[in-house]
Structure 1
Amino acid sequence: MKRRHFLAGASASLGLSGWATGSWAAAGAPDFITAGNRADKTSWLVGLTRAGDVVFQIALPSRGHAAAIHPEMAQAVAFARRPGRFAVVIDCTDGRELARLTTPAGRHFYGHGAFSADGKHLLTTENDYDTPAGVLGIWDASDGFRRVGEVSSGGIGPHDILRLPNGGFVVANGGIQTHPDMERAKLNLPTMRTNLTYLNVEGAIVDQVELTGAMHQNSIRHIALDGIGAVAAALQWQGAPAKEVPLVLRHRRGDDPTFLPHPDQSRLKTYAGSVAVCPQTGDIAVTGPKGSTVIYFDATGQPRGSTQHDTASGVAPAPQGGLMITRDGGLIHRASGVETLIPVEGGWAWDNHLIAR
Structure 2
Amino acid sequence: MATRRGFLAGLLVSGALPRLAWADVGGPAFLAAAKDAAGEYALHALSARGESLFHLPLPGRGHAACAHPVRAEAVAFARRPGTFALVLDAGTGRELARLTPPEGRQFNGHGAYSADGSVLYTSEVVAQGSAGRVGLWDSESWQRIGEWHSGGIGPHELRLRPEGGLVVANGGIETDPEDRAKLNLEAMQPNLTWLDGIGGIVAQAALEPGLNKNSIRHLALGPEGQVAFAMQWEGDPAEVVPLLGLCAAGESPALCPPLEAEALLMQGYAGSIAWNRSVGRIVLTSPRGGVAMVFDGAGRPVASHRRADICGAAALGDGFVLTDGGGAIWALDDRGLSLLAQHALSWDNHLVALQTA
Asked if residue 302 in structure 1 is aligned to residue 332 in structure 2, the reply is no
Per-residue CA deviations over 1:267-308 (Å, capped at 9, x if unaligned) read 111100100011211111000001111011112221112001
**Measured at CA, do residues 22 and 349 of structure 1 come closer, stay the same or move farther in structure 2, by a change above 3 Å?**
same
Match of 2:171 in 1: 174
Given the two structures, how large is their TM-score scaled by the length of structure 2? Answer: 0.91
Match of 1:137 in 2: 135
Match of 1:16 in 2: none
SS at match of 2:309: coil
Question: Quick one: which amino acid aligns to residue 103 of structure 1?
Answer: P
Per-residue CA deviations over 1:299-342 (Å, capped at 9, x if unaligned) read 22211120011211110011x33111112342111223343211
Match of 2:65 in 1: 67
Alpha carbons 1:21, 1:91 under 8 Å: kept: no
Alpha carbons 1:175, 1:219 under 8 Å: kept: yes
In structure 2, C-alpha distance between the alignment counterparts of 1:204 and 1:131, rounded to whole Å: 22
Match of 1:341 in 2: 339
Match of 1:202 in 2: 198
SS at match of 1:25: helix
SS at match of 2:310: coil
In structure 2, C-alpha distance between the alignment counterparts of 1:138 and 1:112, rounded to whole Å: 13
Percent identity of paired positions between Structure 1 and Structure 2: 44
Note the C-alpha offset of 1:206: 0.9
Alpha carbons 2:63, 2:350 under 8 Å: kept: yes
Alpha carbons 1:28, 1:56 under 8 Å: kept: no
Gaps of at least 5 residues in structure 2 are: 1-16
In structure 1, C-alpha distance between the alignment counterparts of 2:236 and 2:267, rounded to whole Å: 13
Per-residue CA deviations over 1:58-97 (Å, capped at 9, x if unaligned) read 1101000000111111111000000000000001112111
Question: Quick one: which amino acid aligns to residue 153 of structure 2?
Answer: I
SS at match of 1:50: coil
**Measured at CA, do residues 106 and 308 of structure 1 come closer, stay the same or move farther in structure 2, by a change above 3 Å?**
same
Query: Which structure 1 residue ranges, 4+ long, deviate > 6 Å from structure 2?
Result: none
In structure 2, C-alpha distance between the alignment counterparts of 1:271 and 1:326, rounded to whole Å: 17
Match of 1:350 in 2: 347
Note the C-alpha offset of 1:164: 0.5
Given the two structures, how large is their TM-score scaled by the length of structure 1? Answer: 0.91
In structure 1, C-alpha distance between the alignment counterparts of 2:254 and 2:18, rounded to whole Å: 45
Match of 2:328 in 1: 330
Aligned-pair Cα RMSD in Å: 1.4
In structure 2, C-alpha distance between the alignment counterparts of 1:244 and 1:218, rounded to whole Å: 11
In structure 2, C-alpha distance between the alignment counterparts of 1:197 and 1:167, rounded to whole Å: 14
In structure 2, C-alpha distance between the alignment counterparts of 1:60 and 1:248, rounded to whole Å: 32
Gaps of at least 5 residues in structure 1 are: 1-18
Per-residue CA deviations over 1:196-242 (Å, capped at 9, x if unaligned) read 00001111111000113110000000000013231101100001344
In structure 2, C-alpha distance between the alignment counterparts of 1:120 and 1:184, rounded to whole Å: 33
In structure 1, C-alpha distance between the alignment counterparts of 2:140 and 2:92, rounded to whole Å: 20
Alpha carbons 2:136, 2:146 under 8 Å: kept: yes
In structure 1, C-alpha distance between the alignment counterparts of 2:41 and 2:237, rounded to whole Å: 34
Aligned positions of 1:113-262 closer than 5 A: 113-143=111-141, 145-181=142-178, 183-262=179-258
Alpha carbons 1:176, 1:192 under 8 Å: kept: yes
Alpha carbons 2:245, 2:299 under 8 Å: kept: no
